[in-house]
A and B are shown apart, each in its own frame.
Chain A
């Protein structure tokens, strides 16, 4: 998959991804997508194009555990997030939803670079020619992502919920 990189810094918290005050009246990710990152980059949610990549530094998604943050990213059309590291709750939510999150050194990537991500493990920066290896996923996480998220994973694993 190929797309444009939108580069952000370290410690992008979930309030920056989608402001808490926006979540009060609706949690419809379709409606919230245009407010993506509005507090730190006004207008970003309207500029981003389907298939783009969100690129960040360390501790992406820190702060609140609210799942709306990764959902808004999905609905804004972002194909995958590439960051040096993720906050725990964001990582969890993204895996559960099946949002592709790649862990890699993002220093060589600049804002606006054209990227190609292969198999979630190799990133080609087509603008600079740089090739970056991503960190592999642990087996359980890979299985959940392959199933498309936690619900389809558990439905396959436990076909009849005992409720």
Chain B
């Protein structure tokens, strides 16, 4: 019987043949921790008889959740992480560099065929580059630093075939929301997702990273894209040529389920409060007033996201009722947005621009919503209280829908602005 991508990658890293359902100890290639998860890594390392970092060059620390620091407590935590990185010689991305899930793909730390773990649930994002990446806890991270191995249950695979061309005005985010609405918040729990189909073949890496990022919202352990010219092109731009092992599933691989969608007639999608799988087509949401619009996060804070928003907002103003907040996902995104004039357009339209980082997505700072207000956001989660106020309602959408809605002050179909 053939193998899925998950079975192949975990088998290679466990040094023996594995199949779905097996529990294995496997060697990890790259480890990532951020200021949201790192404090407990200290605690876990203290419980060990001896602690060290086995592979410092593939151990990355990112300060992104609370940047720049909003309090002296956070500043102290950041100092502890900097000390740790110095002491063990790990790579550190300090405040302002960007969000971990943007930085690792953008700087060539994650490559096809790798097994990557990060102490953050959206680590699944990296699967957009044809690798197995999964979110783990802080104890896991400390264990992987010290022993270089972790336990895994080899997941069953769900094959998602996305056929049809992406309709005008829609983004990868719309596809992601549609899938989550259909599969449900636990519908892919612990499963590995493999993507195929025309829409995937035509999607660039930016879109693939967004799609993989969101798959954890239905419980997926990993979400893996095929390796093709798009992947090659992304890696070439980073100056990486062939020093990696792409992975393809066998034709007779055993998938637990196959789900097919045809997206050619799809509408933009909206996730209603307070669950990511409460998804409706935009025609059932238009007219809902919004008080705050947030463009950013590891899902939609990239250059293409700022580009589509800027295209819609060009020579237009954000509605007077709406506070429009933008958090780019990395310093490189800022540079690109400046070079192409997206920043100029966004600022002229009325946007408040945060420094690169997670921003208000986790409710710590940078734009906490008021009581009884509606927030429209390009983030990945709309849980009650997620943005720091349980009296606010969060709706999720694509960057195009966000920009169109910010102009009107109510949820608006972006296709009206893209004639």
Contact = CB atoms under 8 A, between A and B. Distances in A.
A106 interface: no
A65 B137 contact: yes
A71 B23 contact: no
A21 B136 contact: no
B23 A140 contact: yes
Contact of A87 (B40, B70, B151, B189): B189
Contact of B185 (A59, A93, A140, A149): A59
Contacts of B49: 155
A59 B383 contact: no
B151 A21 contact: no
B354 interface: no
A163 B54 contact: yes
A67 B119 CA distance: 9
A13 B277 CA distance: 13
A149 B139 contact: yes
Interface string A52-82: 0000001100111111100100000000000
A139 B153 CA distance: 12
B257 interface: no
Contact of A62 (B40, B71, B136, B186): B186
A21 B23 contact: no
Given A39-B385, A65-B135, A67-B138, A59 B189 contact: yes
A121 B143 CA distance: 28
A161 interface: yes
Nearest to A91: B190
A39 B384 CA distance: 7
A88 B364 CA distance: 25
Given A65-B135, A163-B50, A20 B386 contact: yes
A52 to B, nearest CB: 23
Given A66-B137, A93-B137, A21 B186 contact: no
21 contacts: A13-B383, A15-B381, A20-B363, A21-B385, A25-B71, A64-B120, A65-B37, A65-B119, A65-B135, A67-B139, A85-B186, A89-B135, A93-B139, A93-B140, A144-B151, A150-B139, A150-B140, A154-B143, A154-B147, A163-B53, A163-B54
Interface in B124-149: 135-140, 142-143, 146-147
B219 A87 contact: yes
A16 B139 contact: no
Contacts of B189: 59, 85, 87-88
A74 to B, nearest CB: 12
B40 A63 contact: no
B49 to A, nearest CB: 6
Contacts of A158: 147
Contacts of B388: 20-21
A163 B139 contact: no
Chain B, interface size: which category? 35 or more
A110 to B, nearest CB: 23
A39 B388 CA distance: 10
Nearest to A159: B49
Contacts of B47: 151
B66 interface: yes
Chain A, interface size: which category? 35 or more
A7 interface: no
Contacts of B255: none
| Residue of B137, B140, B143 with highest tally of chain A CB at under 10 A | B137
Contacts of B73: 24-26
A46 interface: no
Contact of B151 (A11, A19, A24, A140): A140
Given A24-B71, A71-B40, A93-B137, A19 B23 contact: no
Given A161-B146, A163-B54, A39 B37 contact: no
Contacts of A138: 23, 153
Contacts of A96: 137, 139-140, 143
A144 B384 CA distance: 34
B50 A161 contact: yes
Instruction: In the A-B complex, list the 8 residue pairs whose CB atoms are closest, starting with the nearest.
Output: A163-B52, A59-B186, A67-B137, A93-B137, A65-B135, A140-B23, A65-B121, A21-B363
Interface in A22-43: 23-27, 39-40
Contact of A40 (B40, B153, B190, B384): B384
B39 interface: yes
B380 to A, nearest CB: 10
A17 B363 CA distance: 15
A162 to B, nearest CB: 8
A151 B44 contact: yes
Contacts of B37: 65-67
B275 interface: yes
A92 interface: yes
B221 interface: yes
A11 B186 CA distance: 8
B36 interface: yes
B143 A150 contact: yes
A141 interface: yes
Contacts of B137: 65-67, 89, 92-93, 96
A62 B190 CA distance: 11
